[in-house]
Amino acid sequence: MSKFNRINTLTGWLVFAVALVTYLLTVERTASFWDCGEFIACSYKLQVPHPPGAPLFLLIGRLFSMMAMGDVTQVAYWVNLVSVMSSAFTILFLFWSITLLARKLLGKKDEELSLADTIAVVGAGLVGALAYTYSDSFWFSAVEAEVYGLSSFFTAIVIWAVLKWERIEDDAAANRWLIFTFYLVGLSIGVHLLNLVTIPALALVYYFKKYKTPSLWGGIAAFAGGLVVLMIINSGVIVWLPSTAGKFEIFFVNTLGAPFSVGIVFFIVLFIGVLIWGIRYSAKKEKEVWNTALLAFAFVLIGYSSYFLVLVRSNFNPPINENDPSDVISYVSYLKREQYGSRPLLFGPVFTARPVNSERGEPIYRKSNGKYIIADYRPEYVYEKNQQMLFPRVHSNQMNHPQLYRDKLGLAEGQKPSMGDNLSFFFSHQLGHMYWRYFLWNFVGRESDEEGAGGLRPWDTSQGLPDVMATNRARDNFYMIPFLLGLLGIVAQAFRRKQDLLVTGLLFMMMGVALVVYLNSPPVEPRERDYIYVGSFYIFAFWIGLGVMFIYDFLTKVLPSAQARAGVATVIGLSAPLLMGVKGWDNHDRSHRYHSVDFAKNLLNSCAPNAILFTGGDNDTFPLWYVQEVEGFRTDVRVCNLSLLGTDWYIGQMKRKTYESDPLPISLEYENFAAGKNDIVPFYEMPAVKNGINLKEYMALVKQNNAAIQVPLTSGEMTSILPSSVLVLGINPEQVKKMNILKPELASFVKDTMQWTMGKRDLYKSDLIMLDIIATNDWKRPIYFSGTLTNDNYLNLKEFMQLEGYTYRLLPVRVPGASDGYVNTDIMADNLMKKTFWRELDNPKTYYDGTYKGSPAFSARIAFMRLVDQLIREGKTEKAKGALNFILTKMPDKTIPYDQITANYVNYLFALNEPKKALEIAEVMSRRAEETLKYNQQHGVNQDTNIQLYILQTLANACREGKQEAQAKKYETLLQQYMTALGG
């Protein structure tokens, strides 16, 4: 080993140690929000997460979880360490990749490098690797149990392996490296598919090595060959092979009468036999290229074999078994992510298009009586040509997307977007907002951690900003230093190694702009998606490192000493990662953050024993899955996710016992909720039941597929309908009173029927199952709705609900005037003040981003607002004072800033004879509101204008009620001033 190689190896491990320590110090100690709770739960018990799964990540996570030594509260920490370790190894291979590219810039062999060259090359690796270590998006993924840290590791090691292969002159050894690289590609499929997009660019490395006189057309052919390899793996290995196995299976079972799984076994044996024959034949005939290609293909399959975990574990039917991919038919659907639908890429409809016809697509099979029968066909909608366009970017007609397109593009209602509008959206939103903004976050600066926050340029100072924006911990200005270094690195490659620039440039584009095109983002996403593009940022870190080489060369005329030039260039370069690390530490340190899990526990503890709890999105559900599956907390409560309740496999799971929870009371059979059946139950009023239909009788008719409640579709098929907007459910008053679930003052409201108006709306399958549960349950189990659900999810039953914490309990009694639920202060006070968890939520050193300031903070503050309000109405002032002081202490302004809900607390403080505290909070909130509104007026923006105006109005009313006339007048004056100025 040469002297350079020793230094290079040791320095690489030093950088690894720096990254590892950084991530160990800042890693979250428990399950983060979003998918982390799901991945930790699925790793711990090897369950089946959302499509297309990540089986290799789960296997590694399971191994790490064993390090908890039986302490279930430490499992999340150890699974988080999968990301910590893999991210640190990513930095190691990034360092070695940069030093490989830097040596090529010098054009010298390792043993020819001088001390100055060594300092410069190692310095380039240090700067680039450390810059990526502290880059915003990568650091975020490195400290939580998500797949992106491990996915980045595979991207890093694959690129490094190809660069190493390029330097090997012995063909036999080089081929082994190629096969190793494809094995890594196969393994990476079991984590995430992002690694595959590196293949076309890396094909150029192969071309440049094999052909000493490359040409333009040769390069294009090599890139096209790489695209073919990508398609073979993405469409062939991942989708075509299991799809073909499925066709063999259907043929063997339906045509030959074989038992289930025989066709799959036959196909696997046949395919492996043909592959082995091809490898042996090519070796015997000394066809080196074919032999290497077949071996590489075989090793991709070996790596991909981690996906057998999905089939094996799904057949054991674990509690989390998303899509139930237990047979080859559902397995293919799982791999293809069919539940998420598809987005048009090259040609398709725009958001104003309406289908003119529906054709039968691929059949949907299910098992029945020893055969695979066709249960339904996937609909393929047909649009007129004038409703479609090339490269459709404005395509989504889901939810509020059409209105958002119109707002962004200035289109009138019904106006069809032009190609100019389409391209404008592509460049401004998809490229600008959904990629370039994220790029700026990482290498230029970030405005804040609020949703939609922009980049921060050197000239964007905090002067004149509202305090809440200026002091945001995620407001990081890097003064473009990393960005400028990267530009210098691009220049260095352009002058010294154009071929390398072509490779790195294509890698940068494939993992950046190409992904933007492929993903075809709608106008709004559930959360920021910067983690998707970390591969592109990884390549830019190459250029940041190579910027040191540019400076090293540029200083030749200034500093005669080569060693001095190398040292100065390295020091200048290190200013970038040093600045990024110092600025980013406070908003990436999650070491004291626990409230994602505590929020889940508080939600579960808002439920009575053996409850059924309806929840909404990922952040409602995944933390609940974690605390139940890993920590074994409140497993008597059955969590029922409404976004999944429209799928047959999930309904089937709800009908099974899990832990302490009995099966949900669902009367409908599989035939009633199978895929394609009752997906939407349209409202179609029948005069005979216009004034109401008995819910139990209605569900019985649905179960029977009774023609009395069916109408024909345009296809000729019959579908169930909702014949009345009024539903009636019979109640036994005596039985209800014996259950002791009502406060005495509600007893007089109990009637023999429960009647409510659903409204003239169609029912989705999830609504139908909820109604079935309510009808079949007969009040035997408590039914709860999470307080975070949208209004449609409550089925217009709020007047029949009782607020008991973070949840609403369904009651067999309507409380007049309780349009937002009746507050049971006895149960609610006990749940909120004795059964809740608040670890580190009052610690000002703990960093809470926009996710925590949203639903968790809102849920807590709204719950306490409702409790305190009702306690005051009931004259229980001491109890009200205790509850209000409790939430102000547990969730203080210094950790979670006061929001519009807190403004209502001012009125309660006055009512509870706490004027000093009331005025202190009012002054803080009014000052912030004024700062924000003034900023909006000066800059012509809308930074929560309506919220700030609401705060001022609420404070003015509270002060007026509290006999604080001077303060009330002050806030009213501010309110009128800014309402006039901003048109509020």
What's the pLDDT tens digit per position in 487-510? 999 999 999 999 999 999 999 999
SS3 of the chain: helix, strand, coil, percent, to 5: 60, 10, 30
Among 56-70, 284-298, 539-553, the range scoring the smallest mean pLDDT is 284-298
Q: Tell whether 766 is covered by a domain.
A: yes
Quickly state the pLDDT bin for 979 (edges 50, 70, 90).
Answer: confident
Maximum pairwise Cα distance, the chain: 99
pLDDT of residue 714: 63
| Statement to judge: residues 567 and 547 lie in one domain | yes
| Domain end call among 847, 863, 897 | 897
Give CA separation, 908 vs 482, 806, 862, 959, in Å.
50, 20, 13, 11
| Statement to judge: residues 249 and 356 lie in one domain | no
pLDDT of residue 38: 96
Residue 180's region, left for phi above 0, alpha for psi from -120 to 50, else beta, is alpha
Q: How far apart are CA 548 and CA 489, in angstroms?
A: 7
What's the rounded mean pLDDT across residues 865-881?
95
pLDDT in tens, 571-595: 999 999 999 999 999 999 999 999 9
Name the domain count of the chain. Answer: 4
Give CA separation, 557 vs 310, 427, 492, 562, 569, in Å.
62, 42, 17, 10, 14
Q: How far apart are CA 249 and CA 258, in angstroms?
A: 9
| Statement to judge: residues 860 and 772 lie in one domain | yes
Q: Which residues contact 836 (CB under 8 A, 6 or more apart)?
A: 598, 601, 602, 605, 805
| Statement to judge: residues 858 and 944 lie in one domain | no
Q: Tell whether 327 is covered by a domain.
A: no
Phi and psi for 306 in degrees, rounded to 5? -60, -20
| Domain end call among 395, 428, 459 | 395
Annotate 521-588 with three-state secondary structure.
CCCCCCCCCHHHHHHHHHHHHHHHHHHHHHHHHHHHHCCCCHHHHHHHHHHHHHHHHHHHHHHHCCCC
* 790 or 150, which is more confident: 150
| Statement to judge: residues 912 and 889 lie in one domain | no
Q: Tell whether 35 is covered by a domain.
A: yes
| Statement to judge: residues 907 and 881 lie in one domain | no
Q: Minimal CA–CA distance to 7: which of 139, 101, 132, 96?
A: 96
Bridge partners of 15, per DSSP, are none
pLDDT in tens, 291-329: 989 999 999 999 999 999 999 999 999 999 999 998 888
| Statement to judge: residues 278 and 176 lie in one domain | yes
Query: Given a cut of 90, is residue 374 above it in pLDDT?
Result: no
| Statement to judge: residues 973 and 834 lie in one domain | no
| Domain end call among 897, 919, 946 | 897
Q: Tell whether 463 is covered by a domain.
A: no
Q: Tell whether 718 is covered by a domain.
A: yes
| Statement to judge: residues 922 and 941 lie in one domain | yes
Residue 975 structural domain: 899-984
Give CA separation, 700 vs 666, 696, 754, in Å.
11, 6, 18
pLDDT of residue 68: 95
Bridge partners of 785, per DSSP, are 614, 808
Q: Tell whether 328 is covered by a domain.
A: no
Query: Given a cut of 90, is residue 557 above it in pLDDT?
Result: no
Q: How far apart are CA 328 and CA 345, in angstroms?
A: 28
Q: How far apart are CA 982 and CA 984, in angstroms?
A: 5
Average per-residue pLDDT for the chain:
92
| Statement to judge: residues 488 and 380 lie in one domain | no
| Statement to judge: residues 907 and 942 lie in one domain | yes
Highest mean pLDDT among 335-349, 378-392, 587-601, 724-738: 587-601
Q: Tell whether 431 is covered by a domain.
A: no
| Statement to judge: residues 947 and 806 lie in one domain | no
> Directed axis angle between helix 945-961 and helix 915-939, to 10°?
150
Query: Given a cut of 90, is residue 355 above it in pLDDT?
Result: no
Query: Given a cut of 80, is residue 479 above it in pLDDT?
Result: yes
pLDDT in tens, 190-234: 999 888 999 999 899 888 888 888 888 888 999 999 999 999 998
Query: Given a cut of 90, is residue 425 above it in pLDDT?
Result: yes
pLDDT of residue 614: 97
Q: Minimal CA–CA distance to 40: which of 451, 789, 512, 600?
A: 600
pTM of the model: 0.93
pLDDT of residue 328: 84
Q: Tell whether 279 is covered by a domain.
A: yes
